Structure 1
């Protein structure tokens, strides 16, 4: 089935109409910062084109999002207020509480989801103005598995809009009220971000140009097992780094010192290596440390000779060169997960080297969201060197696994 686009909604006319926009503003914060400081505003920037297009067309824009995992009740640690401030800066407006006066360009920030503050913020919007509701997960109905409870919350949210736009690809794999139930209650459309994500990922799951190389990192094999099993028959090479590589190395019979290890996954990794028929490439050397810290003593060792008590925190330079060589002739690349603990300077070279190698690929290159996208920005790598940077790590992986995504299903109905 087809999905209606934001362009179609704009062509129908939105001036004076209230448009609910489901955004993914689940941004990371600098640990320990007070007041809270956003570490990476990439997800806010990603939805700006949709908000700006609606605002310039005269819509009354009501933005909603989650942040973190509060337990269905207000929690100051997860307020969207800092996000409202940053969104206001990016839109060239200042945040205000409650309603916005007519003619003002200010963003109205509601201090609740569907209560008095939200009602006032939405009612006070003039044409071309924007409101942001407080964290959706402050209401238990957002994530409830009970359809009636979820539906009741969706009814309240839908009352704020005349149309619905989903531009939160990072949440489309969740069967939540704002993602799955609200679009059933309003004319619904996909923002450009969601449409681009679906287009790119359908290319990866369809008939991608070859050679097709996938780079996987991150900490746990269990988190990536389903996507490995789904992709292994389809790819030409599968490069594995990050903490998950040590479980594979253990499956080959090597000792991994104090490195991250999932003992319960060793047998599974052994089976995957046997089935891969040489497609899987593991690091040949790693950077090890005597402790998990930026000031740790470090050394580069063979991946088959990790000293007892030392822990691997990055792939080594020889591995970077081998991975770059495997990527050099690729026509399609999908990358999800850093090669090491890139947040600490001594262990960032592996991720940087692989990312830079991907930017040199002559073909479609896709960064699978999450930590990979954060690493690109944190390491100062030019984002224009990648064909597409996804905003939804988990959603991207589930799409590639072949799972049905509730948010996409809702837009198709």
Structure 2
């Protein structure tokens, strides 16, 4: 797989339509978490340094084709100017005469921010005329929004077909990390998949057992797999209607030579609350009136041993009820071990999706992982083996 990067484009004097994800949380008109803004700074600065004129395309919320004032991107101008360290000009639409005039008047060292693409119903419909109207604003298309790459929208897929296209720095970083993790990984390759329900991660598990050497299953999902093997899981969160599917996955893993690691010991409690009285038992000894809320120390030791022999790790989801103590221990311990191996250069670790970032941050491990994706849905679809329209449109061979 290959895609064109900013370094391969002549940006001097060119208007660069740059699709970004700045769908950030706000409170009383102030950005409360600027992570997504900070992650597009390298792309914007590199375009300016190369003599290009960045024109930002983005969505905000789900206005469903309506002009919803509280979903206007204009409110992000101060945060963007602070992050970029340069003036940000705002255009009240992403197509039309006003937007074209603003794009034509853009000066060196300035950034143009276009209004919410989803104010137009033609955006999610990937309408070709709408894409063509946006294309008139620029000379080059740069996609730096991997988190929106699983959607075939006009600004993520349609535009890439109309202009010379490339990946921005964040997109490039994300694709390189994911290619290293699932495309051409160094082996042994381990995947850790946690979370509540097997049903939400069926395609993910089905894809992974055919690709990884070891698959660690944790969280409520693990309870379903234990139940599928005839183990009583008491009052634990489990999808008893999915036990047949769990057995199919176990069989597919065996046929593929993939070792599935389930809890051999468990931490149980009668109440789901912080500080609840708990005990550690063998996996097949859950009392009828108790619930499994975490993996036990023997399971963690097994996971650590597998990580010690691994070269690549993909992580999605917690191993237990990490939100409350003491049921965060397995997630924290395994994550800290993976982080230490990554920091030592012994392991390439890529994580993302759902609660994963929160769990790894809580464990103090996120900063030491090789790469943390904040993409959510796009990250999961990539792990499921699906083609992402926004990425496919950038491929050049």
* Offset, 1:354: 2.0
Q: 1:37 to 1:48 in 2, by over 3 A?
A: closer
Residues 340-355 of structure 1: pairs in structure 2 closer than 5 A: 340-344=320-324, 346-355=326-335
Residues 154-165 of structure 1: pairs in structure 2 closer than 5 A: 154-165=131-142
CA contact (8 A) 2:12 2:51 kept: yes
Q: 1:228 to 1:129 in 2, by over 3 A?
A: same
Matched positions, count: 388
Gaps of 5+ in 1: 93-104
CA contact (8 A) 1:169 1:391 kept: no
Equivalent residue, structure 2, for 1:100: none
CA contact (8 A) 1:289 1:296 kept: no
Q: Pick from 378, 382, 390: which aligns with 2:373?
A: 390
Q: Pick from 355, 363, 367: which aligns with 1:371?
A: 355
| 1:164-184 C-alpha deviation (Å, 9 max, x unpaired) | 101112222221111110111
Q: In structure 2, how many angstroms separate the alpha carbons of the residues matched to 1:343 and 1:45?
A: 27
Q: In structure 2, how many angstroms separate the alpha carbons of the residues matched to 1:226 and 1:176?
A: 23
Residues 160-179 of structure 1: pairs in structure 2 closer than 5 A: 160-179=137-156
Q: In structure 2, how many angstroms separate the alpha carbons of the residues matched to 1:120 and 1:288?
A: 64
Question: Structure 1 stretch 203-212 or stretch 227-236: which is displaced more?
Answer: 203-212
* Pairwise CA RMSD: 3.1
Q: In structure 1, how many angstroms separate the alpha carbons of the residues matched to 2:301 and 2:288?
A: 26
* Offset, 1:276: 2.6
Equivalent residue, structure 2, for 1:401: 384
Gaps of 5+ in 2: none
Q: In structure 2, how many angstroms separate the alpha carbons of the residues matched to 1:18 and 1:184?
A: 17
Q: Pick from 111, 120, 133: which aligns with 1:139?
A: 120
TM-score (normalised: structure 1): 0.81
Q: In structure 1, how many angstroms separate the alpha carbons of the residues matched to 2:249 and 2:51?
A: 54
Q: 1:349 to 1:112 in 2, by over 3 A?
A: farther
Question: Structure 1 stretch 48-57 or stretch 365-374: which is displaced more?
Answer: 365-374
Q: In structure 2, how many angstroms separate the alpha carbons of the residues matched to 1:308 and 1:152?
A: 61
* Offset, 1:82: 6.0
CA contact (8 A) 1:220 1:262 kept: yes
Q: In structure 2, how many angstroms separate the alpha carbons of the residues matched to 1:328 and 1:177?
A: 45
Q: In structure 2, how many angstroms separate the alpha carbons of the residues matched to 1:398 and 1:283?
A: 26
* Offset, 1:283: 2.2
Q: In structure 2, how many angstroms separate the alpha carbons of the residues matched to 1:292 and 1:76?
A: 41
CA contact (8 A) 2:270 2:290 kept: yes
* Offset, 1:141: 1.6
Secondary structure of 1:215's aligned partner: strand
Is residue 212 of structure 1 aligned with residue 189 of structure 2?
yes
Equivalent residue, structure 2, for 1:59: 52
CA contact (8 A) 1:330 1:363 kept: yes
Q: In structure 2, how many angstroms separate the alpha carbons of the residues matched to 1:75 and 1:292?
A: 40
Equivalent residue, structure 1, for 2:314: 334
Residues 120-269 of structure 1: pairs in structure 2 closer than 5 A: 122=103, 125-144=106-125, 150-269=127-246
| 1:13-41 C-alpha deviation (Å, 9 max, x unpaired) | 333x32111112344x48xx5556534x4
